[in-house]
Structures are given as structure tokens and as C-alpha cells.
Structure 1
Amino acid sequence: MLFEGLELVSALATLAACLVSVTLLLAVSQQLWQLRWAATRDKSCKLPIPKGSMGFPLIGETGHWLLQVFSKIFSHEALESYLPKIQLVIQDTLRAWSSHPEAINVYQEAQKLTFRMAIRVLLGFSIPEEDLGHLFEVYQQFVENVFSLPVDLPFSGYRRGIQARQILQKSLEKAIREKLQCTQGKDYSDALDILIESSKEHGKEMTMQELKDGTLELIFAAYATTASASTSLIMQLLKHPAVLEKLREELRAQGILHSGGCPCEGTLRLDTLSGLHYLDCVIKEVMRLFTPVSGGYRTVLQTFELDGFQIPKGWSVMYSIRDTHDTAPVFKDVNVFDPDRFGQARSEDKDGRFHYLPFGGGVRTCLGKHLAKLFLKVLAVELASTSRFELATRTFPRITLVPVLHPVDGLSVKFFGLDSNQNKILPETEAMLSTTV
């Protein structure tokens, strides 16, 4: 009897310890997300933490009047003006990858690509390439320490993150001042232009500090998640050559690739990309299986009931994107990479509102989702049109889910240039070795 009583006490103690651990985990998690919001901003900044999101953006979430501003930044007209610049940045990057004599680390290079896209296209900064490389290294140090415990001690991650932010903001202020002074020769309005003009329209002319904070938020929003999705896209095209060939067939049918294989001249347009239905299916399937972030946090604004459980106002909740995609009954063979599931014949994502939500859902769905999908589509088109690539390791790497989904070793891939018939251009030494004597 005494033994049973001790067992009961032990079980209750274990349960209590688990409840305390979960409570502490949620409390620390909430504080870390709020720290992320604060870490990108100076203490003097007046921009508020968005209600209900705990300050964590899914590629462009923000709050209050800025929602209207960001809706302009990611509007159809804005995306049309960004598109030629995005294509040029991706083309330059793929040429650099193909000219590299060794295999590249795709995840690291994708991070550099999305950072360059944010600086060159979204913000319109004319920063020299050498300075841009240094700025990227500082930015990486900032991102790596964003979620550090808020303990301001020498050599702590928090202190390194703050120091990196200070360096970043100094460089960004210089770039912003140069941009404000040089208004000639612009052939499009970038995101920073729209942010400045829209704030004036709302009677909220932004201070330099708020411009730096908004700029840093835009870079943050376009960086890690897009790099993650870009890496997943390349990995799946490597794993599934039939998908890549089917994509090339669609490009030929739409006149983007000649029948001989070489790409047609001219820049892409939004209406052209919208007509590439299989390309859309490929991007959707990448985002279904390899959603960059696991989920989102929300604060309950009104008490509600879910499956018989009451969720009180003020509680913090988390929704899981990956678990939703894995368990949604509408998807068949959920672990199989199958773009055709999104084709017109099946349309598995159309049955139900919340089975497919790679960019979140509701009023706080990701505002930048159209820009992210546009970037991935252009990358896929350029990869299919101008690149040959192959895995440089024996097997594909494991995938880790934190801080965003990515291969543990970054994915080592060798890229090759193409001739006019879309055949690989081998390095000179390799070409000599393959010559028949």
C-alpha cells in the first residue's frame, strides 16, 4: 500500500515537473520571439509589436498602418517592376556558380543570393560588390545571434548580435542617405521608395532610425526562408530529373526555350510566369514538403472553443504548418514529391481552406508570399533554361528543421555552363581528358 502511494506521489511529481517545464518553455519562447522584434530595432523606434503575432514575421508580417504600405510593396504592379531585376540577379548568380571550378555549398550561396536580391532589388542600394560581401558577413552574425538569451555580457551571443546590428545600421544609413540624394536614372520604384512615399501619404514621415529599422526588417523578411526554399527546390530538381525535364517541356511549349534547348531572348513577364501551370505545381509541392518554418505563434484575442477545449483570451498558441501538411487528409502519399497533385486533374489543395498553408493563414498571412513565389519561379526557369547541375556527394544530406529547414551540410552541387545546344561546357582540363585520341 505504501509502495503504491509512493508511486502515485512520484507520478504526480513527474506530471507537475512536466507542466512546469512546458510553461517555462512557452514563456521563454514568447520572450525570444519578442526579442527578435526588438533586436532589429533601436530603442528609440516607435513601431509597435504586431498584436496577435508576438512579433514574428512570416516573410513580411507586420502591423497597423504598415500593412497598407506592405500591400503596395508586394502589389502586382510592384512585382512586375521587380521581375527584370530579380531575373538579372539570378542569372548573374548562376553564371558565377557555373564558372566556379569546384562544387558549391548551395544553402550558403542561396543565402548570399537572397541577401543580394533584397539589397539590389527590394531596397535599390548601389553598394559595391566588395562592401556587399562584408555586409553579408555582418548580417549573418546578426541573424545567428537574434535568438540569443537577452544577457548582455562580453562575448555573449546577445552582445555579438547587438554589435552586428550597430554595424549594419551604420552601413544602411549611409546607403539610405546616398539613395535619397540620388533620384535620377531610376526606372522603377523599389520597396524602400514605396515605404517612404506611402508613409508620407499617411502623414507619418519616417525618421532615419525608422527607415533603418524598416530596411533591416525587409532584409530579414526576404532572407532565410527564401534561401531555404531555393535550396529545397534545387535538391528536388536533382532528385527528380523527370520533373526537371517536364518543366523544360513546358518552357519549350511556351516559347521560353527553343526546341534546340537554348533559352529565348528577352526578360520574363508576370503573365508569362502565370501561364506556366506545371511550374506553379512544382513550387507548390516544394513548399508543401519543405516549408521553411515549422509554424507560427499567435496571442488569443478572444476566448474560443476547439474540439471541446476552451482556449482563454490572452493565451499564447502555436499552429504547426508541417504537421498540417503531413496529416491533411486531402493529400495522397504525403511523403512523395509529386507536383501533379496540384494539377487541374487532381487539385488536392482545393478541398478545404486550411490543409495547405505554407505562408500561414488568416488576416496575418504572409504579405510577401507573392514575391517569394515569384523569386522561386524565376530561379526554377533559369535553372531549367541555362544550367546543368549534379550532386557532388554520394548521397543527399540529412535535413534539419532549425532555425529554418535546410540540409545539414548545405548541399554540395557542381554547376556547369551551357553551350548553345544546352550541353555542359566542361573545364579545359576535363575536356582534354575526355578527348578521343
Structure 2
Amino acid sequence: MLFEGLELVSALATLAACLVSVTLLLAVSQQLWQLRWAATRDKSCKLPIPKGSMGFPLIGETGHWLLQVFSKIFSHEALESYLPKIQLVIQDTLRAWSSHPEAINVYQEAQKLTFRMAIRVLLGFSIPEEDLGHLFEVYQQFVENVFSLPVDLPFSGYRRGIQARQILQKGLEKAIREKLQCTQGKDYSDALDLLIESSKEHGKEMTMQELKDGTLELIFAAYATTASASTSLIMQLLKHPAVLEKLREELRAHGILHSGGCPCEGTLRLDTLSGLRYLDCVIKEVMRLFTPISGGYRTVLQTFELDGFQIPKGWSVMYSIRDTHDTAPVFKDVNVFDPDRFSQARSEDKDGRFHYLPFGGGVRTCLGKHLAKLFLKVLAVELASTSRFELATRTFPRITLVPVLHPVDGLSVKFFGLDSNQNKILPETEAMLSATV
């Protein structure tokens, strides 16, 4: 009996310690979210940091002037102008993947792809490939240390993050100055153009430091979550070949893919993509099952009651996107990858307001969600119409949720080039075709 009592006391003590640890972890993680940008931004930057922005200068309250800027950056007209460039970046990337003799790490390559998209399309920088590769490596070092405690000691994550930021901003300043000096030959206004123009319209001439910080944050917004979703998309197309074939059937029906197999010439348009209903269902289902971010924080604006519990005004609360998707009663067989649940016949997401929220909800929903969905749709179209790919490992990898959802081994996949009939071109055949006669 004595030993049983001691075991019970020990178990209770362990449980109490776990609860305290979780509480402390939540408190620290919230502070890290609030400090993550304030700790790594240049102190000379004068961009306003409004209440509720968690230290992110480009996201403020609803009435903040920058929200008007973002409405232009992600407007229908802006997305239409980005689309041809996004398609070209994805096509070039898939050709590179297909020409690689070995399997690629999809998650790592998806990170490079989204970084390239942010640099080339969103910001319009003409950085040489070698410099772009170096900038990406430095950016990864910066991202890996964003959540470090703001303790400035040698060899600390904070110090590495600061050093990476300094190198990044030096490279970004060079790119910005070259961009400002070369205004001819542009056929569209990118996000940085719109940011500069809109700030002038609001009487807020931006300094070089503010432009560098704004540029860095635009890259951050377009990088990790999109790379995560892109990797999940490829994994699900590998797991569900029937979904991929149904997607190809839709592309044939809309004239994007010829019946013989080869893709049609020409660039995509927004109205064409919006008409691809099954493609939309596939992207929605990927974002339901594999939401890159677990949740977010909000500040309670007025006291309310939830399930019998009173939540006071001023409290910071965390909402879980994944738990919402897993427990929402509107979704049937929640663990099954089933794009048809979003079809017009079923429309499972239409039965409630906040059952499906991969990009958050309310007035603080993700401002770049339309750009993210556009990128994923173009990637899906190009994968279905121009690529053949297969898993290079015996089983699919386990998924981890930190810092964003991704496969633990990055997902090893072999991509193949295609001939005019969409048959795989093996490396030996490709070498023969490219040989000089």
C-alpha cells in the first residue's frame, strides 16, 4: 500500500509538472511570437508597429493604411499580372527537377521555389542565380533563428539571426537600388512597386531601411507556408493517382491539356483557373488536411462566454486550425483525403462559418491567401500536365508540425522529363536526344 501511495503521489507530481511546463511553454511561445520581428528588426526602422500586430510592421489594425496597400498587392488585377511570371518560375523549376539524375528533396526544393517566386515575381528583383542561391542560404539561417530568445550572446541563435539579417539587408539594399534605377522595360507592377507608390499616395515616403524591412517581411510571408502546402500537394498527388488523373481529365476538358497528352501552348489566365472546379477542390482538401500553421493568437476585444467559460476582455487567446478541421461536424471521414467533399454537390464547408479556416478568419484573415492559392493551382496544373513523378522511398515519410507542417525527410521524389506524348524520358534516352549528331 505504501508503494502504491508513493506511485500515486509520483504520478500526480509528474502530471502537475507537465501542466506547469505546458503553461510556461504557451506563455513563452506567445512572447516569442510578439518578439520575433521586434527582436530582429533594425532599430532605426520607423515603420509603425500598431497594437495587435505581434511586432510585424506590415500587418496592423483594420484601419491601418498598409491594409489598403495589401489590398492592391493582392487584388485581382495584381494577381493577373503576377500569373505569367509565376507560371514561368514553376515551369523552369519542374524542368530542373526532371533533369536531375537523382531523386530530389521536395520540401527543400519547394522552399527554394517559393523563395525564388518571392524574389523574381513578388518583388521583381533581377538578382543573378549565383547571388540568389547565396541569398537563399542566408535567408534560411535567418528563418531558423527567428524564434530564438532575444538574448544577445556569442553563438546564440539570436546573434546568428541578427548576423543573417544584416547580410540579407545588404543584399536586398543592392537589389532595391538597382530596381529603383532601372524602371524601363517593366510590363507589370510588382508588390514592391505598389508598396512604394501607395506609401507616396498616403504621404509616407519610405526610407531605404523601411523598404528593406518591408521587403524582408514580404519574402517571409510568401515563403514557409507556401513551401509546406506545395510539398503536401505533391505528396497527396503521389498517394492518390486517381485524383491526379481526374485533375488531368478536367484540364483536357478545358483545353489546357490535349487529349494526346501534351500541354497546350500559351499562359494561364485567372478566369481559366477559376473555372477549374475540381482543381479548387483539390487545393481546398490539401489545405484542410495539411494546414501549414497550427493556429494563431488573438486579443479579446470584449468579454464573452464560450461553452460556459467566461473569457475576459484583454486576454490573449490561441485558436487551433487543425483541431477545428479535425472536429468540425460538417466534415465526414475527416482523416480521408477526399477533394469531392468540396464539390458543388456536397459543399461540406458551406454548412458553417468557421469550420474551415486554413487562412484564419474574420478581419485578420491571411492577406496573401489569394496569392497562395493561385501559386498552388498553377503548381498543380503544371505537375498534372508537364510532369511524371514517383516516390523514391519504400514508404511515405512521417509528418512533423514544427515549425510548419512538412515531411521529416523532406519527401524524396524522382521527377522525369516528358516527350510530346507525355511519356517519361529516362536519363539515358534524354542523353541520346541531346547528343550532337
Q: Distance in 1 between matches of 2:235 and 2:339?
A: 14
1:2-27 deviation per Cα after TM superposition (whole angstroms, max 9, x unaligned): 99999999899778756644442233
Change (3 A) 1:304 1:180: same
The answer to which of 45-54 and 106-115 deviates more is 45-54
Q: Distance in 1 between matches of 2:352 and 2:2?
A: 54
Q: Distance in 2 between matches of 1:117 and 1:147?
A: 24
1:58-111 deviation per Cα after TM superposition (whole angstroms, max 9, x unaligned): 999998221111111000000000000000000000000000000000000000
Q: How far is the alpha carbon of 1:44 from its aligned partner?
A: 1.7
* Structure 2 unpaired stretches of 5+: none
Partner of 2:55: 55
Q: Distance in 2 between matches of 1:90 and 1:435?
A: 26
Change (3 A) 1:138 1:435: closer
Q: Distance in 2 between matches of 1:81 and 1:431?
A: 37
1:188-244 deviation per Cα after TM superposition (whole angstroms, max 9, x unaligned): 000000000000111111111111010000000000000000000000000000000
The answer to which of 405-414 and 28-37 deviates more is 28-37
Partner of 2:336: 336
1:170-192 deviation per Cα after TM superposition (whole angstroms, max 9, x unaligned): 11011101101110001000000
Q: How far is the alpha carbon of 1:38 from its aligned partner?
A: 1.5
Contact 1:50 1:63 (C-alpha < 8 Å) held by counterparts: no
The answer to which of 23-32 and 330-339 deviates more is 23-32
Contact 1:73 1:194 (C-alpha < 8 Å) held by counterparts: yes
Q: Distance in 2 between matches of 1:98 and 1:15?
A: 51
1:323-375 deviation per Cα after TM superposition (whole angstroms, max 9, x unaligned): 00000000000000000000011000000000000000011000100000000
Contact 1:325 1:356 (C-alpha < 8 Å) held by counterparts: yes
The answer to which of 304-313 and 153-162 deviates more is 304-313
Partner of 2:78: 78
SS of alignment partner, residue 152 of structure 2: coil
Between the two structures, name the one with larger relative contact order (CA 8 Å, sep ≥ 6).
1
Change (3 A) 1:284 1:253: same
Change (3 A) 1:76 1:63: same
Q: Distance in 1 between matches of 2:422 and 2:323?
A: 40
The answer to which of 2-11 and 338-347 deviates more is 2-11
Contact 2:396 2:411 (C-alpha < 8 Å) held by counterparts: yes
Q: Distance in 2 between matches of 1:7 and 1:280?
A: 55
- Paired residues, number: 437
Question: If the length of structure 2 is used for normalisation, what is the TM-score?
Answer: 0.93
Question: If the length of structure 1 is used for normalisation, what is the TM-score?
Answer: 0.93
Q: RMSD between aligned alpha carbons? A: 3.2
Change (3 A) 1:409 1:2: closer
Q: Distance in 1 between matches of 2:59 and 2:279?
A: 21
Contact 2:41 2:213 (C-alpha < 8 Å) held by counterparts: yes
The answer to which of 109-118 and 58-67 deviates more is 58-67
Q: How far is the alpha carbon of 1:384 from its aligned partner?
A: 0.4
Show structure 1 runs of 4+ deviating over 6 A: 1-16, 56-63, 429-437
Q: How far is the alpha carbon of 1:47 from its aligned partner?
A: 2.7
SS of alignment partner, residue 57 of structure 1: coil
Q: How far is the alpha carbon of 1:48 from its aligned partner?
A: 3.6
Change (3 A) 1:309 1:104: same
SS of alignment partner, residue 291 of structure 2: coil
Q: How far is the alpha carbon of 1:308 from its aligned partner?
A: 1.6
Q: How far is the alpha carbon of 1:121 from its aligned partner?
A: 0.2
Contact 1:37 1:49 (C-alpha < 8 Å) held by counterparts: no
Change (3 A) 1:58 1:95: farther
Q: Percent identity?
A: 98
Q: How far is the alpha carbon of 1:387 from its aligned partner?
A: 0.3
Contact 2:48 2:57 (C-alpha < 8 Å) held by counterparts: no
The answer to which of 356-365 and 36-45 deviates more is 36-45
Q: Distance in 2 between matches of 1:432 and 1:201?
A: 58
SS of alignment partner, residue 255 of structure 1: coil
* Structure 1 unpaired stretches of 5+: none
Q: Distance in 2 between matches of 1:176 and 1:80?
A: 23
Contact 2:123 2:215 (C-alpha < 8 Å) held by counterparts: yes
